[in-house]
């Protein structure tokens, strides 16, 4: 309670539970809880982008006194607290029903460099983090024994501003932990550190914060402690910044420090999951522990392999961290390596590809050596990963390389908009949320009334446009110097016009500029007098990605060019909040990665859950998600064709000949019936196959449960 006091002012006894509710992120995917906070102070709720702690901090005591006597508010509060308290105590759910024999005392430990849970805790950069966040929420929903490990980045990723000329400027905002749900973990005897780790010859004290995600705790490691050398205090301050050495040290803290923090807190995981190679030192540390306590090296490796899952997330080479072997040895230090005894050289060689450069230490190679269970994130990405990493198993045919696939999914209650949930409540019964494994409920979506689906969508589209006008108005007042910036931010957008959404990181392979490759053709499409089109673009380029920033600038140029009539917009600072607004409010979701570089992609799933069909190249999840009726696919370019040219041609043709005419084909009541059919099919497919619930069930059935239960393990190691 005293720790909460720093964040949240004293509340009347009648409403005391609001404090505990606000610091457990489960409010974020519980509609009634969100509504409760909104009700306290709607403007602060909106302006803080839905941060309940800021709402509680901004609300004067007198207002709480009034609310405590408001019968309607109190009964709403009681309902939410009844749900919250029951869920805190209960350990029951899908997992305990399916696996009554597995106890809850030995959890799955899930390591990831970023977690995207809510925009009020900005410690993520994009898809990887949001996926990890959705994974944790689902672990809580399904009652999987689970603990997350990550880093606390006080400066987050970075904030994006775009100059009037379209150049991305990056700035850091320092997060005040008091306005986040993070609570410091105290070490033994009240010290602010939990464990100690050597890196580059210096001892670093590691502190930790807990973030409650429903029933699942996440521990976020932090080196910003007075006890530490000034240079070490900033080690964990920013996500994906700095050079190789900084990255190496961060990953060292995440992996090695993460294991030690779990040990110090006496949490004893039975299964260990590295979400992407950044966390792979976690495996090496566990081998070291075993060897240090007398286990022979081969047995230690085998014990770690049987209990470790590694999920690889990208076929793009820049996505796989590589360091110099000597640098890794220096980071670890002699004392660490001594624990391996004679096998110290072998330990460092875990990260070296036997057919690669002998001095290159690759995190993915380390992870594949020490994880007995490896998977990609869509069926196609499984195939691509077997091609990429198959030669670690020498002359094995690709099909026999033991890398599997679990297709990503998105957390339904996080990403589906309230109005659509209400529509489903009404037609499927209030309990549909408890029948999600029943495919019937998803087929029933096809029977929804087209008019209701359409009006629900239009309501969300209006909300998006209202929101971006409000943002433009505020920034015009506070930040911007030129009226053109207001136009660029979408102030002239019209809710009755067909709207294309494109938002993602500005990595070059995602080809944000594909749509703009024939400017004159796009201008004709956009400015048609009978069937005009709008385009909304958002996304950040990594601060060191100059080509990505140049693409962003070239697009920004069109937003302010009068020939586009203010129908192309660029929205700054893409984050989860903006992602929500966009995936719920545009008419079609555009996704054009260069095949086969998108491992999965998840924003299209979020859009589909809200009846926004995807138009995409056949890559990532779309290869298995597209069924001819739930959106549109850009056919694969032939081996001798220039993919950028033919993909752009297909994109324009689909828009001109099929999609735009279909959207404008409205009946006497103004409902585009055939387009709505595609919208319903998009919801049906996403809801039945591409939710985080289905994804988590796959991970549990294939990996977590067999490990937690101690099933026999047939190892198939590389080499």
Q: Is 643 exposed, middle or buried (0-12, 13-18, 19+ CB in 10 A)?
A: middle
Distances (CA, A) of 150 to 109, 187, 265, 317: 11, 18, 15, 23
Q: Cβ closer to ligand PLP: 116 or 145?
A: 116
What letter would DSSP give residue 659? I
What letter would DSSP give residue 180? S
Q: Is 499 in the site for ligand PLP (CB under 6 A)?
A: no
Pick the binder of ligand PLP from 25, 213, 304, 576 (CB under 6 A). 576
Contacts of 588 (CB under 8 A, 6+ apart): 498, 499, 500, 501, 612, 613, 614, 615, 631, 659, 663
Q: Is 258 in the site for ligand PLP (CB under 6 A)?
A: no
Q: What number of other Cβ atoms are within 10 A of residue 552's Cβ? A: 25
Distance of CA 697 to the CA centre of its chain: 18
Q: Is 126 in the site for ligand PLP (CB under 6 A)?
A: yes
What letter would DSSP give residue 175? -
Q: Is 120 in the site for ligand PLP (CB under 6 A)?
A: no
Closest CA to 604 of 619, 593, 589: 589
What minimum distance in Å lies between the beta carbon of 311 and ligand PLP? 14
Q: Cβ closer to ligand PLP: 133 or 672?
A: 133
DSSP β-bridge partners for residue 362: 322
Contacts of 694 (CB under 8 A, 6+ apart): 409, 688
Q: Cβ closer to ligand PLP: 146 or 502?
A: 502
- Angle, helices 519-526/643-653, rounded to nearest 10 degrees: 20
Q: Is 127 in the site for ligand PLP (CB under 6 A)?
A: yes
Q: Cβ closer to ligand PLP: 220 or 576?
A: 576
Q: Is 67 in the site for ligand PLP (CB under 6 A)?
A: no
Taking the C-alpha atoms of residue 252 and residue 332, their distance in angstroms, rounded to an integer, is 8
Binding segment for ligand PLP among 156-164, 426-434, 485-493, 599-607 (CB under 6 A)? Answer: 599-607
Binding segment for ligand PLP among 361-369, 422-430, 434-442, 568-576 (CB under 6 A)? Answer: 568-576
Q: Cβ closer to ligand PLP: 132 or 300?
A: 132
Cα first-last separation, the chain:
53
Taking the C-alpha atoms of residue 717 and residue 719, their distance in angstroms, rounded to an integer, is 7
Binding segment for ligand PLP among 248-256, 443-451, 544-552, 573-581 (CB under 6 A)? Answer: 573-581
Q: Is 276 in the site for ligand PLP (CB under 6 A)?
A: no
* Collapsed DSSP state (helix, strand, coil) of residue 710: coil
- Is 3 within 8 Å of 184 (Cβ atoms)? yes
- Is 146 within 8 Å of 133 (Cβ atoms)? no
Q: Is 122 in the site for ligand PLP (CB under 6 A)?
A: no
Q: Which two tokens stand for residue 78?
A: 């009681």
Q: Is 504 in the site for ligand PLP (CB under 6 A)?
A: yes
Q: Is 545 in the site for ligand PLP (CB under 6 A)?
A: no
Q: Is 134 in the site for ligand PLP (CB under 6 A)?
A: no
What letter would DSSP give residue 391? G
Q: Is 602 in the site for ligand PLP (CB under 6 A)?
A: yes
Binding segment for ligand PLP among 209-217, 456-464, 600-608, 701-709 (CB under 6 A)? Answer: 600-608
Binding segment for ligand PLP among 83-91, 125-133, 231-239, 427-435 (CB under 6 A)? Answer: 125-133
Q: Cβ closer to ligand PLP: 376 or 601?
A: 601
Binding segment for ligand PLP among 97-105, 126-134, 154-162, 212-220 (CB under 6 A)? Answer: 126-134
Q: Is 180 in the site for ligand PLP (CB under 6 A)?
A: no
Q: Cβ closer to ligand PLP: 261 or 571?
A: 571
Q: Cβ closer to ligand PLP: 411 or 684?
A: 411
Contacts of 114 (CB under 8 A, 6+ apart): 123, 124, 125, 128, 129, 132, 150, 239
Pick the binder of ligand PLP from 54, 339, 575, 681 (CB under 6 A). 575
What minimum distance in Å lies between the beta carbon of 540 and ligand PLP? 9
Q: Cβ closer to ligand PLP: 126 or 156?
A: 126
Closest CA to 413 of 24, 25, 28, 29: 29
Q: Is 601 in the site for ligand PLP (CB under 6 A)?
A: yes
Distances (CA, A) of 612 to 77, 136, 225, 584: 34, 25, 46, 7
The residue count for binding ligand PLP (CB under 6 A) is: 13
Taking the C-alpha atoms of residue 614 and residue 514, their distance in angstroms, rounded to an integer, is 16
What minimum distance in Å lies between the beta carbon of 507 and ligand PLP? 9
Q: Cβ closer to ligand PLP: 249 or 694?
A: 694
Q: Cβ closer to ligand PLP: 575 or 647?
A: 575
Binding segment for ligand PLP among 230-238, 319-327, 603-611, 696-704 (CB under 6 A)? Answer: 603-611
Taking the C-alpha atoms of residue 384 and residue 377, their distance in angstroms, rounded to an integer, is 10
Binding segment for ligand PLP among 248-256, 294-302, 571-579, 650-658 (CB under 6 A)? Answer: 571-579
What minimum distance in Å lies between the beta carbon of 593 and ligand PLP? 8
Contacts of 153 (CB under 8 A, 6+ apart): 123, 175, 236, 237, 238, 239
Write out the residues near ligand PLP by the rule CB under 6 A: 126-127, 130, 504, 574-576, 579, 601-604, 606
């Amino acid at each position: 309670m005293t720790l909460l006091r720093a964040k949240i002012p004293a509340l009347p006894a009648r409403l005391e539970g609001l404090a505990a509710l606000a610091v457990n992120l489960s409010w974020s995917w519980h509609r009634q809880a969100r509504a409760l906070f909104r009700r306290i102070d709607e403007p602060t709720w909106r302006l803080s982008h839905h941060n309940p702690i800021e709402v509680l901090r901004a609300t004067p005591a007198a207002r709480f006194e009034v609310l405590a006597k408001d019968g309607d508010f109190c009964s709403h509060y009681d309902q939410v607290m009844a749900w919250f308290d029951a869920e805190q105590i209960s350990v029951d759910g899908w997992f305990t029903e399916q696996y009554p024999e597995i106890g809850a005392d030995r959890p799955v430990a899930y390591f990831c460099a970023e977690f995207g849970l809510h925009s009020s805790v900005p410690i993520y950069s994009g898809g990887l983090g949001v996926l990890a966040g959705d994974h944790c929420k689902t672990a809580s929903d399904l009652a999987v024994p689970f603990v997350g490990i990550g880093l606390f980045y006080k400066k987050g990723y970075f904030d994006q501003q775009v100059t009037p000329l379209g150049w991305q400027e990056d700035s850091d905002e320092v997060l005040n932990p008091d306005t986040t749900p993070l609570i410091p973990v105290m070490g033994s005897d009240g010290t602010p550190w939990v464990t100690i780790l050597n890196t580059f010859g210096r001892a670093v004290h590691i502190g930790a914060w807990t973030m409650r995600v429903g029933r699942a705790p996440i521990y976020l490691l932090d080196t910003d402690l007075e006890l530490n050398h000034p240079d070490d205090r900033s080690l964990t301050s920013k996500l994906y910044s700095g050079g190789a050495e900084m990255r190496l040290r961060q990953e060292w803290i995440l992996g090695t420090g993460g294991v030690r923090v779990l040990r110090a807190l006496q949490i004893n995981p039975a299964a260990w999951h590295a979400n992407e190679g950044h966390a792979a030192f976690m495996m090496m540390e566990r081998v070291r522990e075993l060897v240090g306590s007398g286990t022979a090296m081969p047995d230690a490796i085998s014990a770690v392999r049987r209990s470790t899952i590694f999920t690889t997330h990208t076929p793009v080479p820049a996505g796989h961290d590589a360091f110099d072997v000597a640098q890794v040895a220096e980071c670890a230090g002699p004392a660490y390596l001594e624990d391996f005894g004679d096998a110290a050289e072998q330990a460092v060689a875990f990260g070296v590809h036997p057919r690669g450069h002998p001095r290159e230490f690759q995190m993915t190679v380390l992870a594949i050596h020490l994880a007995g269970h490896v998977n990609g994130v869509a069926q196609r990405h499984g195939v691509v990963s077997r091609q990429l990493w198959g030669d670690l198993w020498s002359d094995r045919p690709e099909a026999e390389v033991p890398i599997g696939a679990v297709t990503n999914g998105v957390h339904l209650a996080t990403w589906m908009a309230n109005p659509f949930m209400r529509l489903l409540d009404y037609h499927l019964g209030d309990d549909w949320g408890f029948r999600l494994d029943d495919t019937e409920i998803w087929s029933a979506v096809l029977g929804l009334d087209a008019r209701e689906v359409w009006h629900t969508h239009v309501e969300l589209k209006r909300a998006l446009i209202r929101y971006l006008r409000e943002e433009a108005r505020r920034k015009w007042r506070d930040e911007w110097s030129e009226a053109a910036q207001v136009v660029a931010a979408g102030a002239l957008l019209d809710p009755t016009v067909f709207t294309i959404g494109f938002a993602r990181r500005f990595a070059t392979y995602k080809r944000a500029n594909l749509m703009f490759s024939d400017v004159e053709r796009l201008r004709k499409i956009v400015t048609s007098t009978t069937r005009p089109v709008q385009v909304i673009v958002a996304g950040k380029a990594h601060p060191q990605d100059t080509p990505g920033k140049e693409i962003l600038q070239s697009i920004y140029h069109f937003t302010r060019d009068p020939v586009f009539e203010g129908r192309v917009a660029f929205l700054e600072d893409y984050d989860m909040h903006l992602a929500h607004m966009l995936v719920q409010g545009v008419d079609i979701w555009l996704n054009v990665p260069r095949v086969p570089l998108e491992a999965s992609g998840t924003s299209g799933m979020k859009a589909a859950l809200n009846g926004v069909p995807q138009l995409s190249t056949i890559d990532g999840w779309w290869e298995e998600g597209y069924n001819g009726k739930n959106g549109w696919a850009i056919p694969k370019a032939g081996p001798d064709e220039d993919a950028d040219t033919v993909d752009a041609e297909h994109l324009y043709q689909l828009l001109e000949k099929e999609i735009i005419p279909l959207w404008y084909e409205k009946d006497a009541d103004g409902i585009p019936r055939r387009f709505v059919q595609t919208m319903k099919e998009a919801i049906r497919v996403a809801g039945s196959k591409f939710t985080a619930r289905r994804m988590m069930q796959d991970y549990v059935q294939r990996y977590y449960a067999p490990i937690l239960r101690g099933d026999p393990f047939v190892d198939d190691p590389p080499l």
